[in-house]
Homo-oligomer: A and B are copies of this chain.
Amino acid sequence: MRDVAVIGIGIQKWGELWERSLRDLWVEAALNAINDAGVDHIDSIYVGAMSPGLFVGQEHIGSLCADYLGVTPVPATRTESACCSGGMAMRSGFIEVASGLSDIVLVSGVEKMTDVDGGGATYALATAADGDYEVYNGITFPGLYAMMARDYMHRFGLTREELAAVPVKSHANGFHNPHAQYRSKLTIDGVIKSVMVADPLTIMDCSPITDGAAAAILCPLDLAKDFAKGKPVVKVAGMGAATDSIALHDRADFSALNAVAVSAQRAYEMAGVKPTDINFAEVHDCFSIAEIIVSEDIGFFEKGKGGQAAAAGETAIGGKIPINTSGGLKSKGHPVGATGIGQIHELVTQLRGDAAERQVAGARRGMAQNMGGSGGSSVVHILEVV
């Protein structure tokens, strides 16, 4: 396998973008990545998207995107793994470059969630859960993660204030991210007293509905220096993916995410590093409890200690291991198919030293962890400055 580098990144301002279509958002992000990389052609495209069929009545997303970027007949594949569809696009592009089949691959993600046909965004998102055994019986994602939160609080003594520390920290970071959907600062009290969604999770524990896209350009590492033009060369050092039962009730432990643990372990092994070698991470904080559990299962904290760590500022910029410097899904937004590539955008921005007010000092190696459903799938990438 060839070593692979990320030579370009592109994004646009995420939010409720009523006047923009899925194809518009994607093309803007893709062009930004192409311009950032300085490439004059593309060999292959991957587009992560979770449910454009339900959200906007459009499948065949690869062809649509290649067409509107004006690059047909370049091959284009949509990848889907619920909310880690973007991360799987990154994985597929990495493999295609590593294989030697293609040199310049555009990996991307997009979701247009606010103009929803049919049953609404909550129904569309629920199709990431087990349709026959979970959704049919009325559960949706806030309820699934609320059960995880209740189990975790009962077993490990997590307090409501510690849980609320996660979105407070993430919004403090996202306040400085020009692409973030919600650039507002929160307080612990404000999170706890916001509208209840699924006890104990209030609306400020929940990531929002977002329109957005993100893109990155991959190439073999030995070509990357030609495109760097003075910027640091960023290598994909490790990658790992894993699945778990799609239904939460089929798991032995509601307070652990096995797909996250396995995917991280595989990425560490490929990169030849351990958790303490990671300088910062973007993780899948679809709900505040998810960030806490993930931060443990990727090896940053002991099981049961993630909430205390967040409340103590260990995951803030300047802390022991900054998490979600972009603002995370909660503040930056969660256009589900784009989220995994948005994480790659933040990693490269940090590794290049371009993160301005939210820059992590000495960022040389970062991790992106992207998750589908209630943890039915997870994909992890480790990027580092060569």
- A54 and B56 form a contact (CB under 8 A): no
Complex CA gap A206/B137 in Å reads 37
- Is the CB of A331 closer than 8 A to any CB of chain B? no
Q: How far is the CA of A72 from the CA of B127 in the complex (A)?
A: 19
Assembled-state Cα–Cα distance A99/B123 (Å):
38
A280 to B63: give the CA distance in the assembly, Å: 28
What residues of chain B lie closer than 8 Å to A91, measured between beta carbons?
75, 77
Given known contacts A1-B101, A72-B244, A73-B262, is B58 in contact with A127 (CB within 8 Å)?
yes
CB pair B77–A128 under 8 Å, yes or no, is: no
A:80-108 near B, CB below 8 Å? 80-82, 88, 91-92, 95-96, 98-101
| Per-position 1/0 for A227-241, Cβ under 8 A of B | 000000000000001
A78–B77 CB distance below 8 A: no
Q: Is A245 on the interface with B (CB-CB < 8 A)?
A: yes
- Residues of chain B contacted by A259 (CB below 8 angstroms): 72-73
Closest-by-CB residue of B relative to A245 is B67
**Residue from the list B61, B99, B124, B372 in contact with A98, Cβ < 8 A:** B99
A197 at the A/B interface (Cβ < 8 Å)? Answer: no
Whether a CB of chain B sits under 8 angstroms from the CB of A193 is: no
Whether, in the assembled complex, A213 has its beta carbon less than 8 Å from a beta carbon of chain B, the answer is: no
Q: Are B76 and A77 in contact (CB under 8 A)?
A: no
Q: What is the chain B residue whose CB lies nearest that of A376?
A: B63
Q: A50-78: contact bitstring with B at CB < 8 Å (1 yes, 0 no)?
A: 11111011111111101100001111111
- Chain B CB within 8 A of A131 CB: yes
Whole-angstrom CA separation of A77 from B91 in the bound complex: 10
Contacts A57-B127, A78-B79, A79-B77 given: A64-B21 contact, CB under 8 Å?
no
Total A residues in contact with B, Cβ cutoff 8 Å: 66
* Closest partner residue, chain B, to A50 (CB atom): B59
Q: Give the one of A258, A259, A379 with max B CB within 10 A.
A: A259
Q: Are A76 and B377 in contact (CB under 8 A)?
A: yes
Q: Does A246 contact B81, Cβ atoms closer than 8 Å? A: no
Taken together as a complex, chains A and B put the C-alpha atoms of A118 and B54 apart, in Å, by 10
* A135 contacts the other chain (CB 8 A): yes
Tell whether A250 is near chain B: CB-to-CB under 8 Å.
yes
Residue of chain B at shortest CB distance from A244: B72
Docked pose: A51 CA to B55 CA in angstroms:
12
Q: Which of B54, B64, B73 contacts A54 (CB 8 A)?
A: B54
Convert A131-155 into 0s and 1s, putting 1 for each residue whose CB lies closer than 8 angstroms to a CB of B: 1100100000000000000000000
For A55, the closest partner residue in chain B by CB is B53
A28: interface (CB < 8 Å):
no
Does A186 sit at the interface, judged by CB under 8 A? Answer: no
Say yes or no: A75 contacts B127, CB within 8 Å.
no
The 9 closest A-B pairs by CB, nearest first: A99-B99, A63-B376, A75-B241, A73-B242, A60-B82, A58-B131, A78-B80, A66-B243, A59-B127
Residue pairs across A and B with Cβ atoms less than 8 A apart, 27 shown, are A51-B53, A53-B54, A53-B124, A54-B59, A57-B123, A57-B131, A57-B135, A59-B128, A60-B80, A60-B128, A60-B373, A60-B377, A62-B81, A63-B377, A64-B376, A66-B243, A72-B244, A72-B259, A73-B262, A77-B79, A77-B81, A78-B81, A79-B80, A95-B96, A95-B101, A98-B99, A118-B118
